[in-house]
């Protein structure tokens, strides 16, 4: 399986992806907002974009659909609840559905509500585990919930699905927010030495050659996976006494997400 991560360079810091079968050159475009770059790269490499997967319905994820469909006739795939939100969908998918790319690539759909209620992540078990996480999971962060989602559902997605994936799963998010997210982790967990080291090492990284983290790394530096950290809980309790000194994981997650909204 070939994974081409495409940095859009826009103000929203989107990543687009081409997932390619090396045997046939068939490609799946994930959230191809910068459709011209996606088409140009595919043409240069001799690939043919035959499918589009929108992780969810927001404009910065579906905005390139028309350009690619017009150029290639690619079929548009998204969450089965998104037919009235994404124009000209060809296929609706849900949990456990498989998207095949060419002869050798299979991607499992995960129904991952929270950022929106019709959000799909794709899990690849081809070659090496990889999660194409859209706006559900970012490097060192989690998606916001104020444009059609809810933090309680996002917590359930993290706890019941993301945390159960293999620690060697590579994370391919929909945006590059890593530096700000690491800074937020350190604001909430000042003694997280791994996050501090990563922030120093990658603060000037080139998004065209971005770090691909693993789930194990995320569990070390992403505060939304660190809900039982004594430092995280102590700082929350000091800042918000009403949460108590032994808050449950859901309460910690929801409060962290609330804080990140205005941080």
DSSP symbols for 192-246: -HHHHHHHHHHTT--GGG----BHHHHHHH-GGG-TT-HHHHHHHHHH-GGG-SS
Q: Which tens digits make up the pLDDT trace of 35-76?
A: 999 999 999 999 999 999 999 999 999 999 999 999 999 999
Place of tokens 């065209």: 208
Q: Helix, strand, coil shares of the chain as percentages rounded to 5?
A: 35, 25, 40
Mean pLDDT of 213-240: 96
* Phi, psi dihedrals of residue 35, rounded to the nearest 5°: -65, -30
Residue 232 to residue 215: CA distance in whole angstroms:
20
Query: Which one of 3.20.20.100, 3.10.20.30, 3.60.15.10, 3.40.50.2020 gives the CATH number of domain 2-261?
Result: 3.60.15.10
Residue 50 to residue 137: CA distance in whole angstroms:
26
Residue 113 to residue 95: CA distance in whole angstroms:
11
- Each domain of the chain, given as residue ranges in start order, spans 2-261
Residue 28 to residue 18: CA distance in whole angstroms:
6
Residue 201 to residue 26: CA distance in whole angstroms:
36
Q: Which tens digits make up the pLDDT trace of 121-140?
A: 999 988 889 999 999 999 99
**Residues facing residue 171 across a β-bridge:** 131
Structure tokens at 137: 């999971």
Residue 149 to residue 56: CA distance in whole angstroms:
11
Q: What is the pLDDT of residue 127?
A: 83
Cβ neighbour number for residue 239 with a 10 Å cutoff: 11
Q: Which tens digits make up the pLDDT trace of 72-113?
A: 999 999 999 999 999 999 999 999 999 999 999 999 999 999
Grade residue 148 by pLDDT with cuts at 50, 70 and 90: confident
Note the helical H segments in 112-192: 151-160, 178-188
Q: Which tens digits make up the pLDDT trace of 175-209?
A: 999 999 999 999 999 999 999 999 999 999 999 99
Mean pLDDT of 166-179: 97
**Positions of E strands within 24-69:** 26-30, 48-53
Question: Which of 36-45, 164-173, 236-245 shows the lowest mean pLDDT across its residues?
Answer: 236-245
């Amino acid at each position: 399986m070939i994974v081409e991560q495409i940095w859009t360079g826009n103000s929203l810091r989107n990543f687009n992806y081409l997932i390619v079968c090396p045997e046939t050159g068939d490609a799946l475009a994930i959230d191809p907002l910068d459709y011209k770059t996606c088409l140009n790269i595919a043409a240069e490499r001799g690939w043919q974009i035959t499918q589009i997967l929108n992780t969810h319905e927001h404009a910065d994820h579906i905005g390139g659909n028309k350009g690619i469909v017009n150029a290639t006739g690619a079929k548009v795939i998204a969450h089965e609840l998104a037919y009235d939100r994404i124009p000209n969908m060809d296929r609706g998918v849900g949990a456990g559905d498989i998207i095949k790319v060419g002869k050798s690539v299979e991607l499992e759909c995960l129904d991952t509500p929270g950022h929106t209620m019709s959000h799909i992540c794709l899990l690849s078990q081809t070659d090496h585990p990889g999660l194409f996480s859209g706006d559900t999971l970012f490097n060192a962060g989690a998606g916001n919930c104020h444009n059609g989602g809810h933090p309680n559902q996002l917590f359930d997605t993290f706890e019941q699905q993301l945390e159960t994936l293999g620690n060697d799963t590579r994370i391919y998010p929909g945006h590059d927010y890593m530096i700000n997210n690491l800074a937020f982790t350190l604001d909430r967990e000042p003694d997280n030495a791994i996050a501090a080291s990563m922030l120093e090492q990658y603060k000037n990284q080139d998004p065209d050659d971005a770090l691909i983290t693993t789930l194990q790394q995320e569990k070390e530096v992403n505060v939304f996976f660190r809900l039982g950290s004594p430092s995280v809980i102590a700082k929350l309790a000091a800042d918000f006494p009403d949460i108590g000194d032994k808050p449950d994981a859901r309460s910690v997650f929801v409060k962290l997400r609330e804080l990140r909204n205005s941080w």
